[in-house]
Amino acid sequence: MIATGRRKARIPKGAGKFVAYILLVVASATMLFPVVYMVCNSFMSSNEVAEAYALLSGDAVFEAGAVKKLSIRLIPERVSLMQYYQALLRKPTFLVMFWNSVIVTVPIVAGQLVVATLGAYAFAKLKFPLRAPIFFLYIIVMMMPFQVTLVPQYITLKKLGLLGSRLAVILPGIFSTFGIFLLRQFMARIPDEYGEAAKIDGAGHFRIFTSIILPQCRGAMASLAILIFVDNWNMVEQPLLFLDDERMHPLSIFLSRINTSELGVAFACGILYLLPALFVFLYGENYLIEGIQRSGLK
């Protein structure tokens, strides 16, 4: 028989992977460009930054009716550390705000790990009335945008007399529902036979929790610690709403409302503010991937 139909064009092997590779490279470059741009601008001199961003500060000069456009510079004319000197030594306010971020974030990470491990163990391994409906309520609260809960939190903190103190920011962060949900999914995958065998040997819930459950949850706890740190390190709304004293504000507040007169310092502060989250992620990257995969959230 004579074939009358046309042959379908075949896509060369590896072409799909090549296209996917190109798309990933373009997406990665797009996401990394703001970071590279911020790093390069942080090493510019104050005069060069002021000249490049004159339009933003309203200091642009228009000559002969020509419109001067906002310039984008990646390579400094002369490398300068003046912006870092301003942020670290000359204006200690920024350094104080950096340590305010540390003072608020570290207790939230430590406290939420304690609360999350205990709550997750209760939901995963203990049987008590209304366990399923209560956990379903946790999921509903977790799915709500946190802006929805800001007003109830404000009213509660006001009645407790905590407004204006760092506890107003730390306590709501400690009792977040996401940590309990993540660790509960992980602990539920641990066979119940381990706990039953320990009970036969006379172990109680505390011994089972500390000696059997927690050692198997190190990866999930590390991944949760990274997620908690990054989330609360970048908080803006809670300090603005709960802290009246600007001396207690974290550095994220300054970066969220940049003053054009301090734009060069903002670039340097942005790099300094990025480094802790970057180090935490690079140190715990393997734990983060392992914890998410084994918790069933992949």
Does 198 have pLDDT greater than 90?
no
Structural domain spans, the chain? 15-80, 85-294
Does 112 have pLDDT greater than 90?
yes
Q: Output the CA–CA distances (angstroms, integers) from residue 37 to 30, 43, 74, 106, in the order listed.
A: 11, 10, 6, 29
pLDDT digits (tens, 9 = 90+) for 20-58: 889 989 998 888 888 888 888 888 887 777 777 765 555
Which pLDDT does position 62 carry in this prediction?
43
pLDDT digits (tens, 9 = 90+) for 172-187: 999 888 889 889 988 8
Which pLDDT does position 168 carry in this prediction?
92
Which pLDDT does position 259 carry in this prediction?
66
Which tokens sit at 124?
């995963």
Which pLDDT does position 66 carry in this prediction?
44
pLDDT digits (tens, 9 = 90+) for 215-263: 888 888 888 898 899 889 988 888 988 988 888 889 888 887 766 667 7
pLDDT digits (tens, 9 = 90+) for 146-177: 788 888 889 999 999 999 899 999 999 998 88
Q: Output the CA–CA distances (angstroms, integers) from residue 85 to 185, 249, 253, 264, in the order listed.
A: 47, 21, 20, 11
pLDDT digits (tens, 9 = 90+) for 115-128: 999 999 999 888 88
pLDDT digits (tens, 9 = 90+) for 50-74: 777 765 555 444 444 444 555 666 7
B/e letters for 261-292, b = 16+ CB within 10 Å, e = fewer, are: ebbbbbbbbbbbbeebeeebeeebeebbebbb
Please report which helix (H) or strand (E) contains residue 113, including its range: helix 92-125
Report which listed range, 118-122, 267-271, 278-282, is most confident: 118-122
Query: Regarding the domain delimited by 85-294, which CATH topology (the fold level of the hierarchy) does it fall under?
Result: MetI-like fold (1.10.3720)
Task: Report helix, strand and coil shares of the chain as percent, to nearest 5.
Answer: 70, 0, 30
Q: How confident is the model at residue 291 (pLDDT cuts 50, 70, 90)?
A: low
Which pLDDT does position 70 carry in this prediction?
54
DSSP for 86-99, written as a single string: IIIII-HHHHHHHH
- Distance, CA of 88 to CA of 267 (rounded, Å): 13
pTM for the predicted model, two decimal places? 0.79
Mean pLDDT for the stretch of residues 99-123: 93
Does 296 have pLDDT greater than 60?
no
